[in-house]
Structure 1
């Protein structure tokens, strides 16, 4: 296997950090810290064997045996892969050897009951997975695909991401695993699933090495227009920096480990001379592969693969070496390795400087650094807290994890100085305000159709599941995306209908006054004197008030107007009909009283008319006073009368009192009609009975027609209907009662004589 630049730099970070600690008089003074590097070659069996080598101190694996004759093993750093770290942690945990990983992120390793001596300088995948899920949701990607490595790292991480995405209400279209055990990693199947999917965003929870075949298959099948969300294991890798993958990976976003600076490390690399490197196979193998030439002075070692045919020159050995090192990849992994070495050194330093009574042990005693036990150094690793020269604080929580800190990385093509819109990855387009989401049978919750809100309801945000009603005084806008104040409706003076009715009422009220003036001018004539002049004047005044009473039904229905308009209408009409009743009775009594020995002579006096008028009007007054006292009318908003309109109207308080008022007026009119009907054939040239009959008949027809008409209308038209009934009935009485008299006075003066009255033509 080829030794990558990142791996090579990790080796030099161990060398550099160890030298830095040994030169530092403040950490482990007079003690030299050493290290051993073991390569498992990514083989699980060799990892287990190497772990047992380190624990036993022998060149072969002997379980449950320790014989470290020379240097004491203080701690183990590794592995970089979670699966390997789990295996190591099971073995090292038995002897309580501290183990610090600089790259293993599986959340399983946070379980202290299984792995009591495991620590790490990288955050757990539990934090990364939740963060990646929030990153996906931040961009509004509610329809995503998931691809993970089929090992502890991938399976644990992707499950947390899936749970977080589903918990937020988003959906996962597919979940696929890269099967490491299969020859082709199951790559063709995974690529086909991604190509056929409608999800634009795909979360890749894998290492760079295992994701590489997937990218090659994408390119072969021309899979484009997908946005990748990267886990930290490949988000900053240098393997994908070639032009081959640049367009496919453009826009990739993901998490990366916190990148810190290692002071002096670059200078350390600048002073490395490949000629002076230790004669180690991996050293020379790395440089021969990197430079593409063979080092002649390293010919006695056996290499696992064929060496380059060209021999290296001095220029190759020095200049190319430094040029290659300037292509440094991200220092994120090496920085975490650097932190792990210093954490172990600090724990050893604290153990060495222990004072009796201040130790971390139960009996407060101190241990000897030259004869330390694994569990003793473990106690100090748990309590490590120090600040590196880079400024970073190192400490572990109860689970052996560091503070979760990540960088967010985004891959973009540098030459293009343009901004790209954030891609959309949804199953269904968002429902705009005014619409709600409706589920589609057999589809996930993220797949839906947008349905307009029903009448009277709105939504003011996108992707709302339910519409809601506006407040009682508001109504949805045309787009149904906000509530607007309902238009207020009442019969106002400003609108055409109100102006027409008001003008008609005022103009009509002047006609009875004009007739009154005519009667006053001709009050000495027979036709005026023969028809109870005083009552006729009172009748004309009441008719003028009847016309004017309709004005109380126009304008904004405030409390005073609601309180008095029906009462005013009832009183003036009661006065008017009472006057007609009085005139009708007096006509009947006058003719009956002319018979000999008639008892009606005592009722034929003029005062009798005023008694009838007063009594009939007083009864209406009692009805009105009772109405106002027990259940008076009041203004109210009626939001059920018309859809989308707020009708301001008067609530009559007691419908019974209202219909009693109308009914009483009808009763007076019926009595007047019956009496006048009986007296219509009495011999008199100026007999008013037949005119009263027609006037009361017209009055009754108008108000009987008003009842169903008022019940079938609402809002301002109910008030307009009552005004129309008032004006119509008033005009009916005025015309039927006084039109014939005015015609005789003005156009037939010969009929306005005593001879005509007595029937002597």
Structure 2
């Protein structure tokens, strides 16, 4: 007779738990199924012994030693029965499993647990003979951590039992969520030694905490007092995340806790189906079968009746219930006992039984080649040592009904696969568990955690994902700044500095845009900077362009007029050739203003200041030559004067050439040593790229401008002293006014130019060019045009020599 040990977990010593009894029935069903199958261990009958520890460690130890001894009381290292003990299945909880694994490991008895999940049991050196048909909590903790972060819950509370299962499991979860950037708002312990499980203190912490998501590592019976206290204090706005210990339990399916647990999400053991199991469950009878004591408890609990031959085992009732007859039918009801739609622990114990049977079959048939005796025959299935079966269990592989192959790794663990379950509220006020996803550690990267979020019921009125954060997320354009003395998840949002952006939510740092980019208004992305220069499309540029073009035509029209009247006395008296040259130069002055408008290309930057300086030098040189000629001409009229030879046309042209050549040398040195160039100015306005011409050498620029000022000043002084020379139409008067206006414009230009920036710098220079050019035309040529067109009587030799 082979003995398989099974322990049933109950809520309280005298309270019956139909879910756990269903697990016992699964073991019985599996043993009968194996014994009836001729292809599995033919001519061998499996047997079992069952112990109910009532969740008392001493009874766990007592039951194990009785199984090892084969007698009514334990005798260490002694076995009274001839039947071979193959393996021990159980216990239900991790802490008893650890205790028994120490004992069974010494004797190398295989131990297969269907529910113990603590990661401590994966230590092969400490527990060499322990196996389990459920994944280790190390995987569950990673799965819960990923689940919490998937929904953006970065501020969570932790609640765990004060045993190995709860404390180790919650510590692993804590490590996972902290490693992923989430934070723990509080961590409380469910004290199992207290009748109320420390519920009042725990619920007070839950109520006062700003965390809305609570991860709970507990078993159903120990969580019930906590939910009871939450119900009493009307705390319904918390999102509970469950471990496999309670997330799929039917204890909370009734309407009592529906407001609290509705919307709960968590991990549960992968479910499976057992063909024919429901029929087996419904055939149970309280007066027949090997589980009669438990069947009577099931009967009384299911049909709310009482067997009169004994005291009601589920506890005294104030009002006697109806009598149980045994004729009641389990098929007529649907409860936790005969619900086989989603078998989890029940399926695991069924699987554990088949694993032991498969290992025994492999041992009998020498399938893996282990332990063949010297005559090349296999071991005697009726007489073998525990360590010999242990070798076969390590290598066992069975195919589950789902099509997945189950096997043990080097630590005695199976591949971690969980169902993600969600509690949905039913119309009748109860809740039921619905699978909404899965966590498969063996899946490809990116497919480990898969969830159908549209199938999740969140238990809230708007059915939106609950928010559980210490601080609201920082939108793009802001960065997170930690709060002193607070966890990393508690922060304040600070706008990114000028020139920097953050393009993700909850960005830790802002990043700078490249030199040619600038943040948008929300500082969420970099956009290309606007390029600014004095363009033809700009209203200011268009106005100056129009003015420059129109102004260019004015000297041409005046020149045309002068050519028409070139033989008249006024034209001859005022040096006709120099006047024509001056008009051409003024037309070029107006024209060179256009070089300062448009995109500052390299060639344009290189030539425009030099062209401006040379053209204006030529213009002022002409005026200076005219002024000096006026003075020389007057002085040459005196008897015996030797200055007559200096009044020739060639002398004036030579004088103009000398003045022009000096400016030409200045410009040549400027262009060769430190020429102007195109510059992208991003310092003046960080949000703009101001394209402008850098003059290269400020000294050279001001030297060119200063030389122009020098010529104009000399011309002004000479003209000023010559203004009272005899003659009715003395041109020195008009030169004086023109030079005064010219100097006034350029003296005013200096502070305006130095204070202007960007395109306005070019605009100021253009304005000075146009204004000074118009000053010369207005003061020197308009009076002549007036006489030529409107006062022809003054255009005579008599009038010219007549004194005013």
TM-score, with normalisation over the residues of structure 1? 0.92
- How far apart are residue 490 of structure 1 and its match? 2.1
Q: Give per-residue Cα distances to partners, 1:484-531, cap 9 Å, x unaligned.
A: 333332222233322321222222222222322232222222222122
- 1:402 aligns with 414
Match among 758, 762, 765 for residue 715 of structure 1: 758
In the alignment, is residue 44 of structure 1 matched against residue 57 of structure 2?
yes
Match for residue 203 of structure 1 among 204, 215, 218:
215
User: Which residue number in structure 2 is paired with residue 568 of structure 1?
Assistant: 611
Asked if 1 retains the 8 angstrom alpha-carbon contact of 2:362 and 2:368, the reply is no
Q: Would the alpha carbon gap of residues 326 and 35 (structure 1) be closer, same or farther in structure 2, given more than 3 Å must change?
A: closer
Asked if 2 retains the 8 angstrom alpha-carbon contact of 1:357 and 1:365, the reply is: no
1:35 aligned onto 2:48: yes
Structure 1 SS opposite 2:157: strand
1:542 corresponds to 2:555: no
Q: Which residue of 1 aligns with 2:739?
A: 696
For the 8 Å contact 1:147–1:204, the answer to whether it is kept is yes
Match of 2:262 among 226, 250, 257: 250
Aligned pair in 2 of structure 1 residues 749, 303: CA closer, same or farther (>3 Å)? closer
Choose which of 22, 31, 42 in structure 2 pairs with 1:18.
Answer: 31
CA contact (8 A) 1:109 1:115 kept: yes
- Partner of 2:135 in structure 1? 123
**For the residues of structure 2 that align with 1:33 and 1:355, how far apart are their CA atoms?**
20
Are residue 136 (structure 1) and residue 148 (structure 2) matched? Answer: yes
Q: How does 1:256-275 map to 2 (within 5 A)?
A: 256-275=268-287
Question: In structure 2, how many angstroms separate the alpha carbons of the residues matched to 1:407 and 1:272?
Answer: 30
- 1:457 equivalent in alignment to 2:500: yes
Question: Contact between 1:639 and 1:646, CA under 8 Å: does it hold in 2?
Answer: yes
Which segment drifts farther, 500-509 or 87-96?
500-509
Pairwise CA distance, 1:538:
0.5
Structure 2: 5+ residue stretches without partners: 1-13, 430-456
Distance 2:792 2:175 in 1: 106
Q: Cα deviation per residue 1:119-160 (whole Å; 9 max; x = unaligned)?
A: 111111111112112211111112221111111111111111
Checking the alignment, whether the CA contact within 8 Å between 1:577 and 1:665 is kept in structure 2 is yes
**How does 1:56-205 map onto structure 2 within 5 Å?**
56-63=69-76, 65-67=77-79, 69-205=81-217
**1:529-608 correspondence runs (5 A):** 529-594=572-637, 600-608=643-651
Between stretches 54-63 and 713-722, larger displacement belongs to 54-63
Question: What is the match of residue 228 of structure 1?
Answer: 240
Question: 2:4 matched to 1:4?
Answer: no
Higher mean alpha-carbon deviation, 339-348 vs 506-515, is at 506-515
Q: Which residue of 2 aligns with 1:433?
A: 476
Q: Pairwise mapping of residues 379-390 of structure 1 onto structure 2 (< 5 A)?
A: 379-390=391-402
When residues 688 and 397 of structure 1 are mapped into structure 2, their CA distance, relative to the original with a 3 A threshold, is same
Other structure's SS at 1:239 match: helix
Pair 1:356–1:567, CA change in 2 (3 A): closer
Q: Which moved more, 1:371-380 or 1:11-20?
A: 371-380
1:367–1:660 CA distance, 2 compared to 1 (3 A) = farther
Distance 1:301 1:208, change over 3 A: closer
Partners of 1:587 and 1:61 lie apart in 2 by 142
Point out the more displaced range, 533-542 or 377-386: 377-386
The offset of 1:262, in angstroms, is 1.5
For residues 249-278 of structure 1, give each alpha carbon's deviation from its aligned partner in whole angstroms, at most 9, with x where no partner exists: 111111110001122322322443444323
State how 1:206-605 maps to structure 2 within 5 Å: 206-278=218-290, 280-295=292-307, 299=309, 310-316=322-328, 325-328=337-340, 330-354=342-366, 367-415=379-427, 420-594=463-637, 600-605=643-648
Contact 1:343 1:394 in 2 (8 A): no
> Could you list the runs of 5+ residues in structure 1 that have no partner in the other structure?
none
Q: Distance in 2 between matches of 1:20 and 1:667?
A: 120
Tell me, in whole angstroms, the C-alpha distance in 2 between the residues paired with 1:746 and 1:355.
129
Instruction: Give matches, 1:654-669, under 5 Å.
Output: 654-669=697-712
Contact 2:282 2:331 in 1 (8 A): no
1:370 match: secondary structure: coil
Structure 2 SS opposite 1:37: strand
Deviation of 1:300 after TM superposition, in Å, equals 8.8
Corresponding residue SS for 2:425: coil
Give me the whole-angstrom Cα distance separating, in 2, the residues matched to 1:95 and 1:550: 105
How many residue pairs were aligned? 758
Root-mean-square deviation (CA), in Å?
3.0
Task: Quote the Cα distance in structure 1 between the aligned partners of 2:391 and 2:358.
Answer: 12
Give the drift of 1:647: 2.2
1:607 offset after TM fit, Å? 1.0
Could you tell me how far apart the structure 2 residues matched to 1:573 and 1:267 are?
113
**Structure 1 490/323 Cα, relative in aligned 2: closer, same or farther at 3 Å?**
closer
Q: CA deviation at 1:288?
A: 3.5
Structure-2-length-normalised TM-score? 0.87
Change (3 A) 1:218 1:264: same
Q: Is the 8 A contact 1:291 1:320 kept in 2?
A: no
Residue 595 (structure 1) shift: 5.7
Out of 771, 776, 782, the residue aligned to residue 728 of structure 1 is 771
Q: Distance in 2 between matches of 1:722 and 1:251?
A: 74
1:741 is aligned to 784
Assess if the C-alpha contact under 8 Å between 1:435 and 1:451 holds in 2: yes
Rounded to whole Å, the distance in 1 between the matches of 2:167 and 2:331 is 45
Instruction: State whether residues 633 and 650 of structure 1, in contact with CA within 8 Å, keep that contact through their aligned partners in structure 2.
Output: yes
Contact kept? 2:287, 2:326, Cα under 8 Å? no
Assess, with a 3 A threshold, how the Cα gap between structure 1 residues 748 and 476 changes in structure 2: closer, same or farther: same
User: In 2, distance between residues paired with 1:88 and 1:562?
Assistant: 92
1:664: how far off?
Answer: 2.9
Label 1:686 to 1:46 Cα distance change in 2 as closer, same or farther (>3 A): same
Alpha-carbon contact 2:727-2:803 (below 8 Å) kept: no
Deviation at 1:680, TM superposition (A): 4.0
Q: 1:683 offset after TM fit, Å? A: 4.1
Over residues 512-553 of structure 1, what are the superposed CA-to-partner deviations in whole Å (9 max), with x where a residue is unaligned?
Answer: 223222322222222221222111100011101111211222
